[in-house]
Each structure stands twice: as C-alpha cells, then as structure tokens.
C-alpha cells in the first residue's frame, strides 16, 4: 500500500520492486493481486529542482519505495510520470502506471547496479529472437525476413555487429565480435550520465518483452517505431493467429505487455536528450 502522506513527502511503495531489484515487469502480477489504494491527492505536477524534474502530488514531493526522491533528468519524462498519476480515478491502479514502475526500478535498482543491468541485457545477444528462423511454411519465412532482415542490417551498419541466423530452435553461437558490438552499444547507454539508469531500465523492458536486444536497440536508435518493433516481435504469433484464429486471452495478455513496451520506449526517448 501507499504510505499515508506526510506533510512534505509521499512514498509510492506499491508501485515498484524492493530496492535493489532491476526488473520492473515482474511487478505486474504482484501488483494486480494487491488491494488498490484510494487516491489521496487532487493533482500531480512537475517542478524543476537542482537540475532535475520532480513529481509533486498536491505540492508534496514523492519518494520511491526505497525513500529516494522521485526525480527525472528531463521534463518530458517527468511529465509522462505526472500524466499517469493524474489519470488515476478513485483508486490508484499500479497496472495502469508502467512509467512509474520503470522509473522506480531505475532509481532504486538499476542506478545501484548499472553494470549488472547492462550485462543482463547483453546476454540476449546470444539468443536473439530474430536469429532463429522458421524452415517453413514459405509465408512465415517471408514474413520473418521482411520484419527481421532490416534489423540485422541495422545492427551490422550501426554497430558492426554481424549475426548468424539459423533455422529452428537449436542454439547457434554468435561471433564474439557481434556480441562485443552489442555490449559496446549498451555500454554507451551506461555512460549517458544522469539519464543512464532510466535508459537502461527502459532498454531492459523492451528487450525482455520482445526477446530481442537488436529490436530494442533499433527502437532506441529510431530505426523502428515502437509499434513496428512490437509487430516485428510477434511475427510468429500473428502468423499462427491468421492460420488458426485469435486467442482472446492471449490477445489480452499481449495488450498488457504492449502498454509496458510502449511506456519503456516513451521513457527511453524522453530521457535520451538529457543523456546526449
């Protein structure tokens, strides 16, 4: 539950992981099981403070679950946070606040262990979704190529990362140079100053939800739109639904994941200028 508001600060404990944790997505199921706290504030606003932008609820500073100040490196990112708080109705629903959860995770977790977060993301280069192709039917092979070949070309042209593709699900070891190139791209995010923990947390969400660090980096560098990336990550699933019909439960789960992905992409974009 949210702590009762004090005179000057408010803690959003129900909206993030315990301090030190780094995966904001793992909170979704846990938060949904909790009793929703009642909205206790009238308005959410943003204020510049010491070179950062802080969230205020009825003028009071908001704290993360670990007691850190809820502040961001850019106005756009802070406004996205304030929009989520403003959009709450009688009850505060963490499931509708993906930006807040990612920001809390960035401040309380990723900022404490940025190198560990970077290594966790980089591991996806070894088993990236777009490197594992179907042998058939031809329509699926063509759909995968149309969605994924341009991402591989982007990784090669932008980072010098040449990845190997294979048919089926048997593991294929990627060239060391390709994995190193991806690690260097992530290291650039780590070195992006005060934007780093937020950008890393957002990149982590995009990577884990798609199973592809290459798709996530394509979004981060403007090669793919968030919607285009989401479509690319679900080529196989969409092909199956066209062949066998839609699964309402699967589509509902996918819609929830899309909200997380879109929030992560928006946050990355919002903090990028601050880290440039």
CATH class for the region spanning 114-275: mainly alpha
Summarised one tens digit per residue, pLDDT across range 155-167 is: 999 999 999 999 9
Q: What confidence category does residue 206 fall into, taking pLDDT thresholds of 50, 70 and 90?
A: very high
Q: What confidence category does residue 3 fall into, taking pLDDT thresholds of 50, 70 and 90?
A: very low
DSSP per position, the chain: -PPPP-SSEEE-GGGSPPTT---GGGHHHHHHHSPPPBP--S-EEEEEETTEEEEEETTEEEE-TTS-B-EESSHHHHHHHHHHHHT--SB--GGG-HHHHHHHHIIIIITT-HHHHHHHHHGGGGG-GGGEE----HHHHHHHHHHHHHHHHHHHHHH------EESSS--PPPHHHHHHHHHHHHHHHTSGGGHHHHHHHHHHHHHHHT-HHHHHHHHTTSS-HHHHHHHHTHHHHHHHHHH---HHHHHHHHHHHHHHHHHHHHHHHHHHHH-
The pLDDT mean for the chain works out to 90
Task: Kindly tell me if the per-residue pLDDT of 272 is higher than 90.
Answer: no
Summarised one tens digit per residue, pLDDT across range 97-150 is: 999 999 999 999 999 999 999 999 999 999 999 999 999 999 999 999 999 999
pLDDT of residue 11: 67
pLDDT of residue 25: 54
Q: Which CATH architecture has domain 9-96?
A: 2-Layer Sandwich (3.30)
Domains in the chain: boundaries: 9-96, 114-275
pTM, full prediction: 0.88
């Amino acid at each position: 539950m949210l702590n009762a508001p004090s005179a000057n600060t408010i803690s959003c404990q129900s909206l993030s992981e315990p301090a030190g944790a780094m995966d904001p997505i793992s909170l979704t199921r846990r938060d949904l099981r909790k009793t929703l706290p009642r909205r206790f504030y009238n308005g959410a606003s943003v204020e510049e403070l010491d070179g950062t932008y802080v969230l205020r609820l009825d003028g009071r500073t908001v704290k993360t679950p670990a007691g850190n100040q809820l502040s961001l490196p850019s106005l756009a990112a802070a406004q996205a946070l304030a929009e989520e708080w403003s959009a709450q109705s009688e009850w505060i629903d963490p499931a509708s606040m993906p930006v807040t959860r990612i920001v809390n995770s960035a401040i309380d977790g990723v900022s404490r262990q940025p190198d560990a977060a970077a290594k966790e993301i980089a591991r996806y280069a070894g088993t990236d979704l777009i490197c594992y192709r179907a042998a058939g039917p031809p329509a699926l092979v063509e759909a995968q190529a149309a969605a994924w070949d341009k991402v591989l070309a982007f990784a090669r042209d932008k980072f010098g990362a040449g990845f190997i593709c294979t048919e089926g699900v048997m593991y294929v070891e990627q060239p060391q140079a390709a994995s190193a190139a991806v690690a260097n791209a992530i290291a650039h995010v780590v070195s992006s100053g005060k934007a780093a923990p937020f950008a890393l947390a957002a990149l982590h969400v995009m990577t884990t939800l798609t199973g592809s660090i290459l798709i996530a980096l394509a979004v981060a560098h403007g090669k793919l739109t968030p919607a285009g990336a989401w479509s690319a990550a679900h080529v196989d699933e969409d092909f199956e639904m066209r062949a066998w019909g839609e699964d309402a439960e699967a589509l509902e789960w996918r819609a929830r994941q899309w909200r997380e992905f879109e929030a992560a992409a928006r946050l990355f974009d919002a903090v990028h200028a601050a880290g440039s």
